[in-house]
Structure 1
């Protein structure tokens, strides 16, 4: 995932509440791109996904929503590689397997 600082709000700007749909769109696009590239799986860390969708870390972040989407997008065969304390946090790491 790339993070283009020129198009992202800066950390000192007012927080923007990201929606569940924002995370779903970016995660599904990532999974689609990796599958098209012929990969057998892709590991997604919550901090990286959140940064791709919107600035993180920042005041008013949407990490709980990001993690909820990551869990909800899991299918049989996918694996949770790292669960943060409480189940939702920047270190959540999920391996999504292909085909989906």
Structure 2
């Protein structure tokens, strides 16, 4: 059985800054996959999304960019379940309604 940890990038492999597009792609893929299973919503935590895209926590992380994307991808009916102090942080939790 393949170890999932080996599939994740190591700190030395992660660019200093991940792009906004990296997070958009990962979030939309997660929403699309949840929609295919017939779910009516999916909860996404910023720390989990960031880890899916690149190493977190790590020096030079891109958590502010990750959170910005999560907010910008919200549509009417989506809801913020948990807002971290300052609005951007690993505990940000958004429920996205499906289908999109």
- Report the TM-score when normalising by structure 2: 0.91
User: Any stretches of 5+ residues in structure 1 without a counterpart?
Assistant: none
2:61 corresponds in structure 1 to 61
1:36 corresponds in structure 2 to 36
Higher helix proportion (structure 1 or 2)? 2
1:9 corresponds in structure 2 to 9
Work out the number of aligned pairs and report it.
97
Alpha-carbon deviations, 1:1-52, whole Å to 9, x = none?
xx932133324x2751100000000000000000010000000000000000
Q: Aligned ranges for residues 45-84 of structure 1 at < 5 Å?
A: 45-84=45-84
2-structure distance, mates of 1:88, 1:5: 26
User: Any stretches of 5+ residues in structure 2 without a counterpart?
Assistant: none
Contact 2:45 2:91 in 1 (8 A): yes
C-alpha displacement of 1:98: 1.0
Contact 2:14 2:54 in 1 (8 A): no
Large movers: runs of 4+ above 6 Å? none
2-structure distance, mates of 1:4, 1:21: 23
